Amino acid sequence: MHDKAKAAAETKPWHKAALSKIWYFFNSLKLTLFVLITLAVVSIFGTVIEQNLPVEDYLKQYGEKWTSFILYLRLNDMYHSYWFVALLAMLALNIIVCTFERFPPKWKALLNHKSDKFDSKLIDKFSNKETFTVNASPEAVKERVISAFKRKKYDVISSGAGSEFHFYAWKGRIGRLGSDFTHISLLLILLGAIVGSFAGYKDFRAVFVGGDMSVPKADFRIKLDKFWIDYYDSGQIKQYNSMLTVVEDGKEVLKKQIWVNEPLYYKGIRFYQSSYGMAWNRVEEAQIAVKKKNQDNTGEPITLKWENPQELTGTKYSVKLVGYTADFAYDEKTNTVYSKSAEAENPAVKVEITEDGKVISTPWLFLKYPGIFPAIPNSDEDLVFTGFRGVMYSGISINKDPGTNIVWAGSIVMGFGFILAFFVYHRRVWVVVKDSGKSTEVKLGGIINKNNLVFEKELKDIVELVSSDKPRG
């Protein structure tokens, strides 16, 4: 037989043999384990290595050598890399092939109810079996058997006549399809993940109170009307909140308060409250005072609003607040000012000083180092930075994931599959009723796909119902 099978395989056309090898490759449990373990391992890299950062950030963290390695393997954008998508596609093909390999014979077996061809000798091979006699005619026992199975909510068919009857009863056969529903759910979840990965996006915006932000790939804007923090009685932060307004075609179409885990949802895009803080490059207002260069006393501070020019009383100058940095730093190579951090470690404001409508100076004034640089050239008067009120911003995460509904559908199907697989037991019972002379012999046996203890008890109940002479309701 082995030689014949080998010879048949050798005579198979090459293209069919190749397709057969590909089919059995994807029908492998080893492949399933390999792909799942590989996905679990590489997902660690996707967690440890922050995704989609500028190249400069990777160079700072990992150096030139490791950054080249990260960029070559696309570990900086792992979930869109060709090899990660290939792993997902391989897993999907593995699931599809396994489902097609196992589902047709399983479905055929579920639909097979031909009890008349059942060999009663096979009952002896079942671990769950009973043989007993009943003092009643085969016809009467037949009615008892059908009644007992109906009472236990079995479907039952019978065949035979006269002195011998065969029965086939079943219950919970849909439970056998639990694994198939789970396979379908995994395919839906994979499809949703791929759709979301390529058709969706994630972004972040820091929005000032009163300001608005653009939304990627959308025809509307989001305005931040208000930001506030709720506190517990102990003084700890309870919650931080933003009042957002959707502005479309110049009209306000939706307004909603959001907080952590309570997003705004509009046109398939979700806006989450993710952070908050004080702006590092802008203030709402700053206080400055006029000071004579040869005197220690300063005049009464005046309040400057952002980019709102104001005359300095008692002088020929006007001043406008045009810049702010929380932690002042200067790059000599590029001749630029920047903030070393978002914290107000070394706050400084930039003002624009005008005389007779002409800008004469744009100095930086330092809160911690007043008068370090003269603010007004060729003058006995100077300006001192005395205080400021910062601008709060709300950190809004933007998430568009068109695959979310597909993933939810897959999750629901998976839940249904788990219920079928773990809580619905496929029971099959065969019964032979045969006239043995003075009484009727009943031989009964069956199998169950899981939970054998429940099945044993159920069979004993059926035996009791069939053999009992007491009337049954």
Q: State the residue for tokens 């509307």.
A: 220
Using alpha carbons only, give the angle 414, 419, 424 rounded to the nearest 5 degrees: 140
Concatenating the DSSP letter of every residue in 120-140 gives: GGGGGG-SEEEEEEESS-HHH
What pLDDT does 5 receive?
45
**Per-residue pLDDT averaged across 302-307, rounded?**
92
What pLDDT does 149 receive?
96
Tell me how far apart the alpha carbons of residues 213 and 282 are, in angstroms, rounded to a whole number: 16
Quote the mean pLDDT of the chain.
87
Span 209-241, pLDDT tens digits: 888 999 998 999 999 999 999 999 998 989 999
Quick check: 343 pLDDT over 70? yes
Task: Please give the single-letter amino acid code of residue 375.
Answer: A
Q: Give the CB-side neighbour count of residue 415, counting CA atoms within 13 A.
A: 6
Residues 131 and 189 in one domain: no
Span 148-189, pLDDT tens digits: 999 999 999 998 888 899 999 999 988 888 888 998 998 999
**Residue 422 counted as domain residue:** no
What pLDDT does 1 receive?
44
Residues 289 and 363 in one domain: yes
Span 72-85, pLDDT tens digits: 888 888 888 888 88
List, in order, residues 6 or more apart from 115 with CB less than 8 Å away. 157, 158, 159, 166, 167, 168, 430
What pLDDT does 388 receive?
94
Residues 371 and 295 in one domain: yes
Residue 94 · residue 32 · CB < 8 Å: yes
Span 377-403, pLDDT tens digits: 888 889 999 999 988 889 999 999 898
Domain holding 134, by residue range, is 113-172+432-467
Residues 400 and 266 in one domain: yes
List, in order, residues 6 or more apart from 430 with CB less than 8 Å away. 115, 118, 120, 122, 123, 166, 167, 168, 169, 444, 445, 446
Span 355-365, pLDDT tens digits: 988 999 999 99
DSSP code for 116: G
The model's confidence at residue 12, banded by pLDDT at 50, 70 and 90, is low
CATH number where 160 lies = 3.30.310
What pLDDT does 309 receive?
92
The model's confidence at residue 99, banded by pLDDT at 50, 70 and 90, is confident
For residue 122, give both structure tokens.
Answer: 């096979």
Quick check: 470 pLDDT over 60? no
C-beta atoms surrounding 398 within 10 Å: 20
For the chain, the domain total comes to: 4
**Residue 427 counted as domain residue:** no
How far is the CA of 25 from the CAs of 10, 64, 90, 190, 292, in angstroms? 19, 40, 11, 20, 87
Residues 130 and 195 in one domain: no
Using alpha carbons only, give the angle 173, 175, 177 rounded to the nearest 5 degrees: 95
**Per-residue pLDDT averaged across 45-67, rounded?**
82
